[in-house]
Each structure stands twice: as C-alpha cells, then as structure tokens.
C-alpha cells in the first residue's frame, strides 16, 4: 500500500521542522493578539461556491467534493479564509463589535498536478484580521508576513502589491479588457481563451509570454479606480514606506479568488522556479456579508508550508530530540523497579527510553549508544539485591554503581536535567 498521489507522510524527523514553524508563528502572532482558530476540514460545498466564485479554477477543477450519507454536498476545504468567515458568522462573533484577529495552521485539499512544494493535501499558515476597513489593518498583516519570514530565516523575497479596486470598478474594467482582448483572441493561450468571458481578470496572471505581451499594451485596472480606492492604496504604501518594508507595485497582480477587493499582495521568493509565490493575500470586505453575515471588512494572507519548507529547510538548525537516559533492564524484578526510576525521571523532566526487549545487557548498551543517549541506567539482579543502580556514561565509557536515592544527585553532577 502506498499513499495517494499528491499526499505524503510526515515522519518524525520532518515533523520537527513543522513544529519549528508553528512555534515561531505562535510566538510572533501572539504578540499582536492573533489567536489560533481551528475549523473543520469538511464544509458545505456551497460555502466555497458562494465565497470563492464559480468561475475560479478551484471551483471548476480542483475541489474534492462528495455526497455524504445524508446526500449533503460536502467539500474538503481548499483554502482557509471562507471557513473562518463561516465560523465568524455561525458563532456570532460579530456580536462583540470588536476586531477579531485569527491565525491558523491547517491542511487544505486541491486536485492539482503534484510537484515540488505543491501537494494535493497541502498545508497553510494564515492570518485573518476581521472588522476593520482602515488601511492600517492591511499594513499590519503585510508587516506580520514580512516579519515572520525574516524570523524563519527566509530573506530572499519580494513583496508585490496592487489595488484591484471594488467590484463596480472591476466590472467596468472587465468590459474594457474584454473589448481589447477580443481582437487578439486567436493569439491568446488556450487557458486565457477560456477565461475571456468567464474570468478575464485571471488572464492578467498568465505566464504565457505571448499573452503577457498582449496584456502589457492593454488597459490597466489602475486607470479605472475611483478616489476612495486610490486613497486607500496610497495610505497602505505610505505606511509601508515608513516601516521601511520594501515592496513593488505590480498593476497586473490579481488574486485567484473572487472575494478580494482593494489591496492584493503576494510575496515571491527568488530561490525557486515557476512556483515562487510563498504568501498571498489581500482585503475581502464583502465575503462575510455574501455568506449571510453582517457587513464586515477583513484582510488576511496565507503561506504555503510545503513551499516555504523547500526554501528554508537547509537554513534551519534543529537538533533531533534524543533520549538523555537509556534504561537497560533484565529480569522481572528489574522491570517492576524500572517504573520507580521512570517516575523519578518524569518528575525531573528528563527524556528517556526504556528498553523493551529481553536481550543481553551487551546488546542493550549497544542500542543505548545508537539512541544518542548520554547515560545508560543498568538495572539487573545485582542491582535489585543491593538496592543500587549502575550508571554507564556512554560517551566516556565510565561506569559506576550508586545507591538508588542518589540517582538525581548523580545525574545533576553529570549536568543532566
């Protein structure tokens, strides 16, 4: 039996890197009063159809959806924001009339072509700032993404930002864009031809060189923005400048989800090939209302963990957690006595490994060496009779016998705690 294509097992020697990222995120985001939230992996399919948009690749091609035994249409969540918006509504968190700040670290599911840094079960670390339409909220989340990447020793990246305006501004622009692109329809790549009438803004994100050249001479979304959208974007840029957070304005940047408005941004690493976006986000002021909640402006981002790890893993220096003490035992009485020793070690928070095989002390001590432990506790018939414990300091080859009561005192002498 093998794992399904696009999924992989996370083994203990890999989990330590995931825990490292989680702990860094927890410590950094907690300082800004972001609290962790966990939503179900499965949601109603309608949530994503209404929230993400029917003309997106996620809805049309990538969702894992099925009917459950009650014939309800269920989907494995393809992203985190819609689920958090649903949680905000269903738990009536809006009744407190305060800003809600959430962060999450969770698996997502999309039926995509697996490649390096992209799996069908993948993981995202994301934040959502819910309840503020102030540009300072946009700056807060961009700043946190920037700071977290630096904290994770990921330095070689660019921040790209854009204003995609509100839905009315985009609708006017869409008509102009379609009118322009129709003249070049046969020259567009096949995906862009399909998107021309369903989701033309996605054509701006095309990687096809011919399509990019056509787009470069076409109408620009920024020319269709009204005063309030321009003012919001200028305020974001002004504060980023004050913070000395370097960014580039990319007026072709859009996001692949329909719920975004105004500020949109991506963080792109210079370390990888085509799949170079490690963080993406923006403002989504209408999503919560579209899902049945009150009018609640919001902004957030998500980082792909697999892609991030492929970039930073070689820079992270993490020591594997080996047992400090290895307990070698022989005989039934030694087995029973070992539980007293284990209780003592646990109280002192000393890591240990108990041998579970009935083999010779010679073989057990060899296993102790391989385990990475510093000290081997030897407990056999002689030790039981004499109410003693034998300690073998593995890296020095020194062995000594002590009385039971002196175990912790001796370990402290060896600077083991």
Q: Where do the domains of the chain lie?
A: 12-165+225-315, 325-412
What letter does residue 132 receive in the DSSP assignment? -
Residue whose token pair is 């510093």: 374
pTM metric for this prediction: 0.89
Query: Which CATH number is 325-412 given?
Result: 3.40.50.800
Residues 240-291 pLDDT 10s: 999 999 999 998 888 766 788 999 999 999 875 555 889 999 999 999 999 9
Q: Is the pLDDT of residue 315 over 90?
A: no
Could you list the residues known to form a binding site, using ranges.
79-81, 110, 124, 128, 255, 259-260
Residues in the chain: 417
Element (H, E) at 47: helix 45-52
> Confidence class of residue 313 from pLDDT cuts 50, 70 and 90?
confident
Residues 183-203 pLDDT 10s: 988 888 888 888 888 888 888
Non-local CB neighbours of 177 within 8 Å, separated by 6+ positions: 200, 201, 203, 218, 219
- For 12-165+225-315, which CATH superfamily applies? Bira Bifunctional Protein; Domain 2 (3.30.930.10)
Could you list the residues known to form a binding site for L-histidine, using ranges.
79-81, 110, 124, 128, 255, 259-260
3-state DSSP assignment of residue 175? helix
């Amino acid at each position: 039996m093998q794992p399904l294509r696009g999924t992989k097992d996370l083994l203990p020697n890999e989990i330590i890197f995931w825990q490292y990222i989680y702990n860094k995120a927890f410590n950094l985001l907690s300082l800004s009063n972001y609290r962790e939230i966990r939503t179900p992996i499965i949601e109603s399919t309608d949530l994503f159809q209404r929230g993400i948009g029917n003309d997106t690749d996620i809805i049309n091609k990538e969702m894992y959806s099925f009917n459950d035994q009650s014939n309800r249409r269920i989907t494995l969540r393809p992203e985190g924001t819609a689920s958090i918006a649903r949680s905000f509504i269903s738990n009536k968190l809006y009744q407190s009339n305060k800003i809600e700040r959430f962060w999450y670290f969770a698996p997502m599911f999309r039926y995509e072509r697996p490649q390096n840094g992209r799996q069908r079960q993948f993981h995202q670390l994301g934040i959502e700032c819910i309840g503020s339409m102030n540009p300072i909220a946009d700056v807060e989340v961009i700043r946190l993404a920037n700071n977290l990447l630096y904290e994770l020793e990921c330095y070689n990246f660019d921040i790209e930002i854009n204003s995609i305006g509100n839905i009315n501004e985009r609708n006017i622009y869409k008509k102009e864009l379609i009118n322009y692109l129709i003249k070049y329809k046969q020259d567009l790549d096949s995906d862009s031809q399909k998107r021309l009438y369903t989701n033309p803004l996605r054509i701006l994100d095309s990687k096809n060189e011919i399509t990019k050249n056509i787009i470069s001479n076409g109408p620009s979304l920024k020319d269709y923005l009204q005063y309030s959208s321009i003012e919001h974007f200028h305020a974001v840029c002004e504060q980023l400048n004050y913070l000395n957070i370097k960014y580039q304005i990319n007026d072709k940047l859009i996001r692949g989800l329909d719920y975004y408005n105004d500020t949109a941004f991506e963080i792109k690493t210079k370390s990888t090939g085509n799949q170079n976006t490690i963080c993406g986000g923006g403002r989504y002021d209408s999503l919560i209302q579209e899902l049945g909640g009150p009018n609640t402006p919001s902004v957030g981002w998500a980082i792909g963990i697999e892609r991030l790890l492929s970039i930073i893993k070689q820079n992270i220096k993490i020591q594997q957690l080996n047992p400090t003490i290895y307990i070698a035992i022989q005989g039934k009485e030694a087995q029973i006595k070992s539980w007293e020793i284990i209780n003592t070690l646990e109280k002192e928070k000393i890591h240990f490994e108990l041998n579970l095989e009935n083999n010779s002390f010679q073989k057990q001590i060899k296993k102790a060496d391989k385990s990475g432990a510093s000290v081997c506790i030897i407990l056999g018939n002689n030790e039981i009779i004499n109410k003693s414990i034998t300690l073998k300091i593995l890296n020095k080859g020194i062995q000594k016998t002590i009385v039971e009561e002196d175990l912790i005192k001796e370990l402290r002498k060896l600077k083991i705690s």
